Amino acid sequence: MSDDLRARLDWLVSELNRHNRLYHEENTPEIPDWEYDRLFRELEALEVAHPALARADSPTRRIGSSPVVELRPFTHEVPMLSLQNGYRREGAELETDEVFGADPFLDLRIFEGWTRGTRGTKDPGRGIRAAMDGEAPPVIAYVVEPKLDGLAMELVYVDGKFVAGGTRGDGDTGEDVSHNLLTLASVPRALRDAPPGRLAVRGEVLFDLRGFERMNNEREARGEKRFENPRNAAAGTMRQLDPELARGRPLMFFAHSSGEKVPGVATHAEMLARFAAMGFAVNPLNRRCLGIEQVIQAVADLESQRADLPYEIDGAVVKVDELALQDALGFVTRSPRWALAFKYPPAKVSTRLNSVLFSVGRTGAVTPVAQLEPVRVGGVTVRNASLHNEHQMARVLGLRVGDTVEIQRAGDVIPEVVRVIPTPSRDSLSPAAYPEACPDCGHALVRELSDPKKPEMVLIRCPNTLACPAQRLAALRHFAARGTMDIEGLGEKLLELLIAQGFVSRPSDIYRLAERRAELVSIDRLGDTSVQNLLDAIEASKSRPLERCLMALGVPSVGESTAKDLARAFRGIEAVMDASVEALDAVPGIAETTAVGIRAFFADPRNREEVERLRSLGVAFVPPAAPASASLGGKTFVLTGTLPTLSRDQAKALIEGAGGKVSGSVSKKTDFLVAGAEAGSKLDRAQELGVAIIDEPGLRALLGEST
Ligand code: IVH
């Protein structure tokens, strides 16, 4: 293998990756497409001739995939479980700390107690008892790995070829995000000497932090919103329908486990080595340790490296290395007994409070947000932090503008100010105080008691509702958002534009946009196609179910589950609007205060008129179908796999009872495949034919039983 060859290959990989970035991320291609293709073909030829030299980050490993219409469910043949947590103790937490001294790694020692001496038994207590009885326990080998703070993913390969990949979801069913995964250089399309048959590799999709920061700066420069944190941004990216968005983003995948046995592998460390040999990225910091002292050392070392890592970690995962011992230990409910997630305390750092911004929410509530001197916490730059409410800001923290404050950031929660660091000069600073008038519309703010039992909890609100620009924008955003009317493409930026140009000021105006098509097309930035797509999305939203419409209207305290309860109980928008407090209160799951709020909302003529306008413009407020009269008339279903609660016969009876047909095999005539756990070849066939695939909750929804 000549050095020249290696050098040429390296050059090709880095050049092609650079051109990819210039083309997709920066929109500034330096070479014509044919030149790119020529380099690409040269690289492909070299890799075919010398497979051992192929690099994991080679652009030949990515394939273009096309946008999908919706995210399909992704069933995990073996459920994706979670991990039991342990915490590093900060001392003086336990009564025994005073007697024996605090041990920050106590949870690791307890974990060791469980695993030690457990060979040949499934009783988790035995390990601890054995240690107390003075039996000599064997030394156990563990693997210590960073706990990657990303998005859990499963990738399925058959005969070494990528088949599909999906998110964890509820552990049994996630979402199929193959199209996005394939844009990651660290997700191989084809594996090197993979075992024949199925391989399910699990791992984490993560943002590279420097890339994340760069991407955020670019977004800001383009006038787009910064992403709050890398984890949410990764989740948001993976859920996109169009893979071009993921392609430009610096995401990577690390393999860390498998749902199923990997043939010929006896330990976890061997499995990781096999993954690496197949072409996966395996975390270089993973360490095999003998006995708990080595584990503690490795866990502490990882924590000291934490701030310098190019991705986020929130702890260490300790796993029993030997797979036979893992099997003997088994599981407690949804977690394996052979692994522990040892969490580090949240990252804290101090910085200066530059000012307090008061932000007005959808319901008019005014909340304080700390504007900070930008500071890096656990790898990301934080510029603002939550102060929660007036009580927290003024009474608990006693905040003054210019204070040095300590902020804390844990996982994907918004960073918060946890305390003020006393300094001699703070006496001269002025206390942070609420404004008298709404920062957005100037209307006088009102103070309300949010909970009679907590007089300190005052809610400060702008009562100007839709006349206040901040509330208007927030209400419209909420109305069009994914969980409510789900109007694809009608995001914050476009709404701001439409409000500014006088097209919309309340939700019903959205349904008048079709009449003003020509005017819309003439707006700068909006082309013919994007206007058409928007109008199509608006049209589609007219048939959202009643519960989504109730949420979209912003009825106070009506979230997803209350909206479903209301829809099921009243089965129509008029009935909900006219319901008395007593009738509302009688609905299981609806509290009296919520009932009063709902009644007050629909007693307000402005809200009733808005509902009438929406209806006259075609919004159907589609009531849930009555279970008895639900009709699946003429639809053909095929059942496969084990459904969580229904037997096959029960499912068949339900479908037939509603007028549907159940057939034994999937064909072009099949309308729905109902897939449960361990679905077999019918699932593949349905995917090939593009038949709609639903799970049990999906079937129940079709039958009109809202879930
Ligand atoms: S092993 C039975 N290893 O943590 C679970 N998980 O709370 C086996 N995670 O969603 C998972 N880093 O995605 C494993 N090195 C690591 C991990 C890791 C992060 C995630 C995992 C899971 C969550 C469990």
Per residue in 115-168, pLDDT (tens digit) is 876 544 445 455 544 545 555 557 889 999 999 999 999 999 999 999 999 999
Name the pairing type of β-strands 672-675 and 636-640.
parallel
pLDDT at 527: 82
Q: What's 266-283 look like in SS3?
A: CEHHHHHHHHHHHCCCCC
Identify the residue whose C-alpha is closest to ligand 1 atom 22.
82
Cβ-based neighbour number of residue 315 at 10 Å: 25
Identify the residue whose C-alpha is closest to ligand 1 atom 10.
152
Cβ-based neighbour number of residue 544 at 10 Å: 19
Buried b (16+ CB within 10 A) or exposed e, 470-499: bbbbbbbbbbbbeebbebeebeeebbeebb
For CA atoms 589, 594, 598, 599, the dihedral sign is positive
Give phi and psi for 170, each to the nearest 5.
-90, 10
Q: How far is CA 558 from CA 174, 474, 475, 529, in A?
A: 26, 16, 14, 36
pLDDT at 65: 55
How far does residue 89's CA lie from ligand 1's centre (Å)? 21
Two tokens, residue 464: 């100007």
Cβ atoms of 364 and 461 within 8 Å: the answer is: yes
How far does residue 424's CA lie from ligand 1's centre (Å)? 46
Cβ atoms of 479 and 552 within 8 Å: the answer is: yes
Residue in 256, 295, 313 to alter for ligand 1 test, most ligand atoms within 8 A of Cβ: 256
Within 8 A by CB and 6+ apart from 31, the residues are 19
How far does residue 147's CA lie from ligand 1's centre (Å)? 7
Within 8 A by CB and 6+ apart from 500, the residues are none
Half-sphere exposure of 118 (CA within 13 A, CB side): 24
Task: Return the closest-CA partner of residue 333 out of 84, 78, 678, 128.
Answer: 84
How far does residue 84's CA lie from ligand 1's centre (Å)? 10
**Each residue's pLDDT tens digit, 550-606:** 999 999 889 888 998 899 889 899 999 999 999 999 888 888 889 999 999 999 999
Residue in 317, 335, 342 to alter for ligand 1 test, most ligand atoms within 8 A of Cβ: 317
For CA atoms 27, 33, 38, 44, the dihedral sign is positive
CA distance 619 to 506: 14
Identify the residue whose C-alpha is closest to ligand 1 atom 1.
257
Rg (CA), the chain: 29
Place of tokens 């986020």: 312
Cβ atoms of 55 and 9 within 8 Å: the answer is: yes
Stretch (H or E) spanning 86: strand 84-87
Two tokens, residue 218: 């670019």
What's at 341, amino acid-wise? Answer: A
Q: Which domains does the chain have, with CATH numbers?
A: 3-61 (1.10.287.610), 144-343 (3.30.470.30), 348-452 (2.40.50.140), 463-624 (1.10.150.20), 636-702 (3.40.50.10190)
How far does residue 150's CA lie from ligand 1's centre (Å)? 9
Cβ atoms of 112 and 299 within 8 Å: the answer is: no
Q: Which atom of ligand 1 is nearest to the CA of 283?
A: 15
Task: Return the closest-CA partner of residue 351 out of 419, 434, 397, 413.
Answer: 419
* DSSP3 helix / strand / coil % (the chain, rounded to 5): 40, 20, 40
- What residues act catalytically? 147
Residue ranges lining ligand 1, Cβ < 6 Å: 81-83, 145, 147-148, 152, 168, 204, 256-257, 317, 336, 339, 341
Identify the residue whose C-alpha is closest to ligand 1 atom 3.
256
pLDDT at 707: 42
CA distance 461 to 261: 57
How far does residue 582's CA lie from ligand 1's centre (Å)? 48
Strand partners, 11: none
Q: Which atom of ligand 1 is nearest to the CA of 147?
A: 12
pLDDT at 23: 67
How far does residue 82's CA lie from ligand 1's centre (Å)? 7
pLDDT at 383: 92
CA distance 513 to 534: 9
Residue in 82, 83, 153, 238 to alter for ligand 1 test, most ligand atoms within 8 A of Cβ: 83
Cβ atoms of 602 and 580 within 8 Å: the answer is: no
CA distance 114 to 118: 7
Rounded to an integer, what is the distance from CA 398 to the centroid of its chain? 35
Residue in 144, 147, 168, 313 to alter for ligand 1 test, most ligand atoms within 8 A of Cβ: 147
Stretch (H or E) spanning 391: none
Q: Which residues of the chain have pLDDT under 50?
A: 63-64, 119-122, 124, 128-129, 131, 628-629, 706-707
Task: Return the closest-CA partner of residue 258 out of 115, 112, 152, 159.
Answer: 152
